[in-house]
Structure 1
């Protein structure tokens, strides 16, 4: 969820009718599809929608839903791609208000977007290469790039399969954060004299109906003599970085050791590629393990990153560690004032406590940085009042 503090304010509150309605629709519905009968569900006449110049007010989600006043219904204005709208966030929903005038009223509406299985699991690369010594011991692990499926729930990625399994077996480890590390584990010693090149196929399958899958080719070159794999000093590194840190800032140093002597014991560090782009935000010095910031952070866009750092020795053996980067907020956003509705002209005999303007004031910062206080000029015949719904 984006860190923002929103304050909805009413000028001169009167007893208006407030209501709330919600609908659930699948993604990819065609333009013009019916979302719901808003007039019937809110107990309004369609004539009220027309005379009150009913309209949709929203700032967050674009114009995906439109209101047909004459029919009193909500329709799909543009085809909705749940993955583009919410990525992996669930539930995925559009939030907006229905505003009416004469007299002023507003109703809160929510349209939840459910997932359909329209994305197959995908590997960033179609093939990956390993150079593995024939002296690699049984149980040696080799990190594979995980597949990414932009669908969620039952349609998300469910399992992996590795074929053939003569020398290697697949192991998948699930973390508390919900991600999966995929490893290829040696279960039978390699013999370079018998087989110098090995080809394997890694398949990722989702849980949709029908199932969809993606594949990656694994090409292995068998080398001579490397008895020990690198080992990281920590399996997980955690660090915190302020969002205004400049590109090139060293955020953490990872360290791995290898019991072999040079050249087999020489370690090279690298960042594992990911489809979600987290890996592009950082780069690591391949020799000393210093991890640098490689882009501009924005707390309001993304609060944390997670990447895998790989240590590879000269014989092709690897170890990996997880790097979790927490982004700290700074007060870099000013409050924004937006008018939801207003009366351009009011009568001199207007009754006290009549609403004349509704506005929303928003600050995208979080916590104390996002708290907003509002004031009006002194000696004016108006006052501010916030409703229990933060309007």
Structure 2
């Protein structure tokens, strides 16, 4: 097992601080010997210590399961909790079929998802407002309205939305669309916060600032759905847009959201073929760009992995192969919107976990990569538990 500091470097979180060593003055008399400095004592973050302890105690299967955010239908809290516990999941995504009639009922449901309040299951939702609204009690404006209003209106809407989500026990909102398009016929047209890079950037930054301290904001769908025509729910939208054009016309809202402090980025199943023929969700190149060029070091999550299978393309027919490629590319967490029946979903959670664990044991998925992802999520979940979120 790696040391705490080594794991820290792997996940990009600050573990310890040391006092600066003061160099003796060069003008001091040669007869005066400098007093040796006391060796500073590193200050270790207790959350890191606890995360390391928990990681050490986890089997390979448990580590893999902690990287999965899955959905199970229904509003029976006991059944949902049983599903989460049976697989040892790190996250649960709420869909429309999980939402009871009142905010109070939803808060009661989400409070029962976690067996260990100190390490809560990450509870996510797609709550954009407008076209994508899971909560019937979300009356705040969505992008279809906000894209024509000043950025201050986006901040007000997402402040209210963030307060609502926090009150019902949601940790992560997959709700800030950083895509850009001016094409009214685009699949994503009514969901973008701006129809040009500048206006989208202003509203995206405002939405991120609004949700800060309320829920963990997610920017989606990286590297940008607006420039790739088609619906990624059942196709791989593709564009031959150059990297330079992407950087100038598509990247700005993502960059603005990252600069505003967004802690999560969702990767789309989108192919920018001039950069990498593979979908971005399976592309190490796009993960490198996000990290090295846009400076993002937070959590990355895929769009629903079942969408790859829904394309009907033979190269995406195997869910375990898709999952291996997605983790190897650099995603921290994999998302699946499952039905109650694995045959309907097209993937069995137990088989998925076993297949990924076998990939780790065979060396196809580097253990160090998986452990770094697990550690990043453990640190996040323990921090949420400590905050009482």
Greater helix fraction, Structure 1 or Structure 2: 2
Q: Which entry has the higher C-alpha Rg, 1 or 2?
A: 1
Q: Normalised by the shorter chain, which TM-score bucket? A: under 0.3
Q: Which has the higher contact order (CA 8 A, sep 6+)?
A: 1
